[in-house]
C-alpha cells in the first residue's frame, strides 16, 4: 500500500500556506520567503522568512490488515523571522494562523517569541487529525 501521502504533508502544507498568504503578504513584504528547510542552501537571506517545520506525528487509524496508514495526528511548527520588529512577525504569523484554522487545525502554542541580537522571531504550533483521503 502506498503511504507516501504522509511523507508529503510538510511540502503540501507549506504550499497551502504560501498560496493562501503570499498575495496578501507580498504587497506589504515584497521579499517574504517561505521554506521548509532551516538552512536553505544557495539562498540569500530574505525577511520576513516563514519556516514551516514538521513535528513528529502519530498514526491513528489502521485497517484490519495494518499495511497502510489511514490517518495521522499531524503537528507542525511555523516560525516567522524578521529584522524589523516583533509586530511584523506577529502580523505574518496571524495571517498564517487564519489559513491553518480554515484548514481545520487547532493552534496549540502561539506566539512564542525567541529573539536574537539581530532578529525577531515568533513561533506557533498547530495540529490536527489528517486522513489518507483528505484533500488539503
pLDDT tens sequence across 101-124 = 999 999 998 877 877 788 899 999
Closest C-alpha to 76, from 136, 132, 24: 136
How far apart are alpha carbons 50 and 71 in whole angstroms?
27
For residue 99, say if its preceding peptide bond is cis, omega within 30 degrees of 0.
no
Q: State the average pLDDT for the chain.
A: 90
Q: What is the pLDDT of residue 11?
A: 95
Residue carrying C-alpha cell 504560501: 18
Residue 122 and residue 80 in contact, taking contact as beta carbons nearer than 8 Å: yes
Helices (runs of H) and strands (runs of E) counted in the chain: 3, 5
Could you read off the pLDDT of 60-89 as tens digits, one per residue? Answer: 877 777 788 999 999 999 999 999 999 999
Amino acid at each position: 500500500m502506498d503511504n507516501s501521502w504522509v511523507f508529503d504533508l510538510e511540502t503540501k502544507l507549506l504550499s497551502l500556506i504560501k498560496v493562501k498568504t503570499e498575495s496578501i503578504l507580498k504587497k506589504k513584504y515584497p521579499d517574504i520567503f517561505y521554506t521548509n528547510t532551516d538552512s536553505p542552501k544557495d539562498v540569500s537571506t530574505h525577511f520576513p522568512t516563514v519556516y514551516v517545520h514538521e513535528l513528529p506525528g502519530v498514526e491513528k487509524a489502521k485497517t484490519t490488515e495494518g499495511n497502510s496508514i489511514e490517518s495521522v495526528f499531524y503537528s507542525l511548527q511555523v516560525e516567522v523571522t524578521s529584522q524589523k520588529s516583533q509586530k511584523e512577525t506577529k502580523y505574518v504569523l496571524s495571517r498564517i494562523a487564519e489559513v491553518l484554522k480554515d484548514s481545520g487545525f487547532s493552534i496549540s502554542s502561539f506566539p512564542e517569541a525567541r529573539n536574537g541580537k539581530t532578529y525577531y522571531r515568533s513561533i506557533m504550533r498547530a495540529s490536527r487529525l489528517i486522513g489518507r483521503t483528505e484533500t488539503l
